[in-house]
Structure 1
Amino acid sequence: MNRIKKVFTLLHIVLWILFSLVIALQHSQDTAHWFILTVDVLLTSLYVFYSHFYLLTRLSGKRKRGTYYLRLAAILWSGPLLYVLLHYKKLDTFDLFSEYYFISLISLVVPFIFLSWLAKVTENLVLNTIRKEQLEKQAVEAELYYLKSQINPHFLFNTLNNIHTLVYKQAPAAPEAVLRLSSLMRYMIYESNAATVPLEREIKYLLDYVSLQQLRYKKSPVVDLKVEGDATSCYIAPLLFIHLLENAYKHSPARLEPGDVKVTMEINDHTLTLSIQNPVGKNGGNALESPGGIGLPNVRKRLALLYPDQYSLETRQLGGLFTVLLNIQGLHRPPNHAKTYLLYH
């Protein structure tokens, strides 16, 4: 907001310089006369413009209208008087004084009162628009933060218990499990704070999650995860797929056979298609849509905020299998947010 105000200040300075040059470049044989005229017009214009501009800034609101009109009348009276006294030091008659007074009132004072009103209205319009956009942006960021924070915390405790069991049994898989949990937590706490992350990093996060979940199963691997296409040039909002994968585990039967949960990700020309298919357990049904669940509703809200008109999300249940199909377009590197919001910060 301070940056915008500085831009308006600079604009005022530039326009006043240009206005002074326009007056000064009016040629006359009497150079001294035009110099005095330029100074008089500039001083009177500055006085009228910023006196009224100040009134509009300080005396806004219905309760202050009376004070505003009184001071506006004072500006209308004193503006022409200042110009006439500065420019015409010797006026022989009252009629001559009145004539120049009303000429300066109509040609100089009234136009600059209007210009100051126009400048204030424009400034208020721009600042209010930016404030509104900032509030909307903050609201979106707050909602995204809330949605992102809803990742199931029970996963962490279950994983720690599984790792404790591995360590107690001195299993060879224990060190690898600790490293994967460390990578997963580092991504969740630090890296996912960015607006977007490389898609290949999000995929690695899913692989770490699948590996840690696999500690619950003796048969491996229960998840068949395939990635097709080039993920190196794509960027995605972080933690966008994890709810879908969590629910695939949650609403599958307690005993899973190898490859029962199928995850397929296809990347083609900055378009991503994700398919997650899992068998439906006794407590399953359309569990993602259940009132107490946060999986699919969470993902839908984030997609609507992050990728409006760029995604489709479908679910279907057929033959004991539940499938989620997600399509997102435009997964290219986003423009520099510092430049996009340069005027807003």
Structure 2
Amino acid sequence: MERIKNIFRLIHLVVWILFGLLVALQLSSEGDIHWLSTGAGFIATGLYVFYCHFYLLTHTAGPGKRRRYLLGLLAIVLTGPGPFLLLYHKPLDTFGQWRSYYCMHLISTAIFLGLSWLARVTENLVLNTLRKEQLEKQAAEAELTYLKAQINPHFLFNTLNNIHTLVYKQAPAAPAAVLQLASLMRYMIYESNAATVPLTRELDYLQDYVNLQQLRYKSSPVVDLRITGDPAAGYIAPLLFVHLLENAYKHSPARLAAGDLKVRVDLQGNVLTFSVQNPIGNKPATPLDEPGGIGLPNVRKRLALLYPGQHTLTIHPTAATFTATLTVHGVQPPPHATTPHLRHH
């Protein structure tokens, strides 16, 4: 905001310099030997009226200050021609001369008052628009942070219980599970604060999530994850896929066979398609809408904030399966985006 104010100050300075040069050029071209004092008086009147009124508009805005503004305006109008009269080279000996020059410069006073009002209104409009945009951006960021944080807490509790069981049984998988949980939490707490992350890192996080969920099942991996395209070429908003996968687990039958959850990631150019399909079994087909998950409305809301006009989320339920497909456009980084991102260890 301060940068915008400095730009306005620079504009004021440039405009007054140009105005002074034009006045000097005009008066000198007319052959007035006293053009310097005449021009200085005229410019001094303009500066005095313009900035006194500008200051008055700035500090009397709002309810209950109208009387103060009107009194200040009256004082500016009455004293506006004063700088010119003080600097004018000819002595004004009679009251008629004073009145004549005074009335003549009341017109220029009115012009500078109007220009001052226009400048103040323009600056207020620009600054208020920027403040509104900043507030909307802050609100959107706060909402995104809230939505992003809504990972089902039951997953964390269940994972800790599963790791406790592995440690109790001294299972060889226990150390790896602890590292995967640490990696998952590190990503959620620290790395996901970035606006976008490498698609490879998001997929690493998703794989950690899948591996920890697998602790609940005795069969071979229940998730069939297939990736096509080059993930290293894509960047995506963090924690975008996990809610769809979380609900696929939640709304699947308690017992899953190997490969029952089908996850597909396809990157073609700057278009990313993510789909997850889960069996429904005897459960009603109401995924993403029950308590405990983020909910389909919130998923759509976060996508609308992150990728307005650049995404589609389609739901395709059948008697046996439920498929959610998300397509996101513009997942390649801009040419200037060369800042390295945190990597997974």
Q: Same fold (TM over 0.5)?
A: yes
Partner of 1:278: 278
Aligned residues of 1:271 and 1:331 also touching (Cα < 8 A): yes
5+ unaligned residues in a row in structure 1: which ranges? 338-345
Deviations 1:20-43 (A, max 9, x none): 222233425978722222321222
Deviations 1:244-296 (A, max 9, x none): 10111111111110000000111111111111111114344222234665232
Q: How far does residue 82 in structure 1 lie from its aligned partner after superposition?
A: 3.0
Q: Tell me the distance in 1 between the aligned counterparts of 2:293 and 2:233.
A: 33
Deviations 1:296-316 (A, max 9, x none): 222111011111111111112
Partner of 2:166: 166
* CA gap 1:98/1:31 in 2 versus in 1, 3 angstroms: closer
Deviations 1:126-157 (A, max 9, x none): 01101111111111111111111111112122
Q: Write the letter of the residue equivalent to 1:216.
A: R
Partner of 2:201: 201
* CA gap 1:243/1:234 in 2 versus in 1, 3 angstroms: same
Alignment of 1:1-345 (within 5 A): 1-26=1-26, 27=28, 33-106=34-107, 108-290=108-290, 293-333=293-333
* CA gap 1:210/1:109 in 2 versus in 1, 3 angstroms: same
Q: Name the % identity.
A: 63
Q: How far does residue 120 in structure 1 lie from its aligned partner after superposition?
A: 0.2
2:224 aligns to what SS in structure 1?
strand
1:232 aligns to what SS in structure 2?
helix
2:313 aligns to what SS in structure 1?
strand
1:287 aligns to what SS in structure 2?
coil
Deviations 1:79-119 (A, max 9, x none): 1133123204412332232222222221x211111110010
Per mean C-alpha deviation after superposition, the further-off stretch among 171-180 and 46-55 is 171-180
Q: How far does residue 52 in structure 1 lie from its aligned partner after superposition?
A: 0.7
Partner of 1:340: none
Q: Tell me the distance in 1 between the aligned counterparts of 2:8 and 2:30.
A: 37
Q: Tell me the distance in 2 between the aligned counterparts of 1:206 and 1:67.
A: 63
Q: Tell me the distance in 2 between the aligned counterparts of 1:273 and 1:238.
A: 15
Aligned length: 336
Q: How far does residue 240 in structure 1 lie from its aligned partner after superposition?
A: 0.9
Per mean C-alpha deviation after superposition, the further-off stretch among 293-302 and 40-49 is 293-302
Q: Tell me the distance in 2 between the aligned counterparts of 1:250 and 1:336.
A: 40
Q: Tell me the distance in 1 between the aligned counterparts of 2:247 and 2:62.
A: 55
Aligned residues of 2:152 and 2:293 also touching (Cα < 8 A): no
Q: Tell me the distance in 2 between the aligned counterparts of 1:104 and 1:6.
A: 31
Aligned residues of 1:243 and 1:296 also touching (Cα < 8 A): no
2:77 aligns to what SS in structure 1?
helix
5+ unaligned residues in a row in structure 2: which ranges? 338-345
Per mean C-alpha deviation after superposition, the further-off stretch among 309-318 and 203-212 is 309-318
* CA gap 1:102/1:336 in 2 versus in 1, 3 angstroms: farther
Aligned residues of 2:262 and 2:277 also touching (Cα < 8 A): yes
Q: Tell me the distance in 1 between the aligned counterparts of 2:29 and 2:307.
A: 64
TM-score, normalised via structure 2 length: 0.91
Aligned residues of 1:51 and 1:75 also touching (Cα < 8 A): yes
Q: Tell me the distance in 1 between the aligned counterparts of 2:93 and 2:252.
A: 102
Q: Tell me the distance in 2 between the aligned counterparts of 1:155 and 1:53.
A: 60
Q: Tell me the distance in 2 between the aligned counterparts of 1:203 and 1:126.
A: 42
